[in-house]
Amino acid sequence: MARAERNEEQTDGGMIDKLVSINRVAKVVKGGRRFGFAALVVVGDGKGRVGYGTGKAKEVTDAVSKATDAAKKKMIRVPLREGRTLHFDAKGHFGSGKVMLRAAPSGTGIIAGGPMRAVFEALGVQDVVAKSTGSANPHNMVKATFDALKALNAPRDIAARRSLKISDLIARREQAHGNTVKAYDEEAGE
């Protein structure tokens, strides 16, 4: 079975669609083989919402449209720092695929492999460093990336749960990176 990996971007009402992979699949029946296509699509709004979906059909366009519809139904919100990177580092896994995501300073860009890059571009992340180990299967990499992204929380939510100020929560991390804590306090209105 042949697998073609492509990244096609289409904007549809503010949504970014990324075709991660197309796979030709076969069903063996009495008279021979019936061929179809399976598609993996990542959809995002570029502002912190992203989802993925799969679809199978006899034609490529039908499979892609099914996958896009499924992705739009399963979108998650990911908190972004300054609208360009992640707040914290995260790890995720699915099957034997493991990913590690790290927040990066401004100007770094997206340093990630193919399927993970599609997720970050659809999400609207501009600066991130990602590493994948284990399975290189696009489905496992996308699902492991979503596992890591689901584990992320905004500092405001964590501080509210712990009854702390945002500045107290992130002071240690900010001192290590040399950034100012005031930006978070001003954002929170404290």
Query: Do 2 and 24 form a contact (C-beta atoms < 8 A)?
Result: yes
Whether residue 113 is found in the same domain as residue 50: no
Whether residue 86 is found in the same domain as residue 118: yes
Domain extent, residue 131, equals 80-150
* Domain CATH number, residue 53: 3.30.160.20
pLDDT score, position 99: 93
Give residue for tokens 């790290």. Answer: 102
Judging by DSSP bridges, how do beta strands 76-77 and 80-81 pair with one another?
Answer: unpaired
Percent of the chain with pLDDT strictly greater than 90: 53
Q: Is the whole-model pTM more than 0.85? A: no
> Among residues 28, 61, 76, which one ends one of the domains?
76
Whether residue 94 is found in the same domain as residue 70: no
Judging by DSSP bridges, how do beta strands 97-103 and 90-94 pair with one another?
Answer: antiparallel
Whether residue 31 is found in the same domain as residue 88: no
Total number of domains in the chain = 3
Identify the weakest region by mean pLDDT among 7-11, 15-19, 36-40, 54-58.
7-11
Q: What is the pLDDT of residues 111-157, one digit of tens each?
A: 998 899 999 999 989 999 999 999 899 999 999 999 999 988 887 88
Whether residue 70 is found in the same domain as residue 102: no
Query: Do 25 and 97 form a contact (C-beta atoms < 8 A)?
Result: no
**Residue 130 to residue 7: CA distance in whole angstroms:** 18
